[in-house]
Amino acid sequence: MALSTILLFGAGLFVRSLQSAADMDLGFATRAGAVVKVETVANEYTGDQQLAFVDEIGARLEANAQIEAHGITVRMPLSLGTIIFPVDVPGVEPPPGQNRHRPEATSITPGYFDAIGIPILDGRDFESSDDETSQNVIIISRAASERWWPGESAIGKVVYRNGDTEDPRVVVGVVGNVKIWSLSEAPRSYIYWPFQQDGANDSFYITARGNMPPGELAAFIRSEARSIDPEIFLTSVGTMDDHLGYIYFLPRMAAVMLSLVGGLALLLACIGLYGMVSYGVSRRTREMGIRLALGADRQSVVQLVLKGGLTLVAVGGAAGIVLSLGLGRLVERFLVGVGGLDLLALLAAPLVLGLVAVTATYVPARRASKVDPVQALRTE
pLDDT by residue (tens digit) across 25-37? Answer: 889 887 779 999 9
Q: Distance between CA 193 and CA 140 in Å, rounded?
A: 9
Tell me which of 46-50, 123-127, 129-133 is least confident: 46-50
Q: For position 334, what pLDDT does the model report?
A: 78
Strands of 162-253, DSSP E: 168-175, 190-194, 203-210, 233-239
- HSE, side-chain direction, 13 A CA sphere, residue 375: 5
- Nearest CA to 61 among 194, 201, 227, 200? 227
Q: Which amino acid is present at 272?
A: G
Query: Closest by alpha carbon to 5, among 225, 324, 342?
Result: 324
Does the pLDDT value for residue 97 go beyond 70?
yes
The DSSP bridge partners found for residue 237 are 36
Confidence of residue 342 (pLDDT cuts 50, 70, 90): confident
When mean pLDDT is compared across 40-44, 99-103, 195-199, 228-232, the lowest value belongs to 40-44
Which DSSP string do the residues of 127-181 spell out, in sequence order? -TT-STTS--EEEEEHHHHHHHSTTS--TT-EEEETT-TTSEEEEEEEE----SS
pLDDT tens-place string over residues 199-233 = 778 889 999 999 999 999 999 999 999 999 998 88
**Terminal-residue alpha carbon distance, the chain:** 34
Residue 289 scores a pLDDT above 80: no
What is the rounded CA–CA span in Å between residue 143 and residue 185?
12
- Residue 185, pLDDT score: 86
Give 191's strand partners: 105, 140
Tens-digit pLDDT profile for residues 252-278: 888 888 888 888 887 887 788 778 777
Tell me what the pLDDT averaged over the chain comes to: 86
Task: Tell which wins on pLDDT, 269 or 149.
Answer: 149
Write the DSSP symbol of residue 89: B
Query: In this structure, are residues 16 and 254 in contact, taking their beta carbons and an 8 Å threshold?
Result: no
E-state strands within 218-305: 233-239
What is the mean predicted confidence (pLDDT) over 321-341? 83
CB 189 within 8 A of CB 147: yes
Q: If we measure between CA atoms, which residue out of 289, 324, 308 comes closest to residue 364?
A: 308
Q: Give strand pairing partners of 205.
A: 37, 73
pTM, 2 dp: 0.77
Mean pLDDT of 35-47: 84
Give residue 126's region: left, alpha or beta (phi > 0; psi -120 to 50).
Answer: beta
DSSP 67-87: EEEEEEESS-TT-S---B--E
Say which range, 67-81, 99-113, 293-307, 320-334, has the weakest mean pLDDT.
293-307
Mean pLDDT throughout 155-181?
92
Angstrom distances, CA of residue 153 to CA of 85, 119, 138: 21, 16, 14
* Gyration radius of the chain's alpha carbons: 32
Q: Could you give the percent of the chain with pLDDT greater than 70?
A: 96
- Whether residue 294 is predicted with pLDDT greater than 80 in this model: the reply is no
Q: What is the C-alpha separation between 305 and 311, in angstroms, rounded? A: 10
**Comparing 86 with 338, which gets the higher pLDDT?**
86
Q: Is 131 left (phi over 0), alpha (psi -120 to 50) or beta?
A: beta
Residue 72 has pLDDT above 80, yes or no: yes
Beta-carbon contacts of 88 under 8 Å, excluding residues fewer than 6 positions away, are 94, 100, 101, 159, 160, 163
Strand positions, DSSP E, 197-276 = 203-210, 233-239
At residue 378, does pLDDT exceed 70?
no
Torsion of CA 61, 63, 66, 67, to 10 degrees: 30
Name the residue with higher pLDDT: 12 or 157: 157
What is the reported pLDDT for 293?
A: 72
Are the C-beta atoms of residues 142 and 176 closer than 8 Å to each other? yes
Residue 223's pLDDT is what? 94
CA distance 376 to 273: 24
| Pairing mode of beta strands 168-175, 158-161 | antiparallel
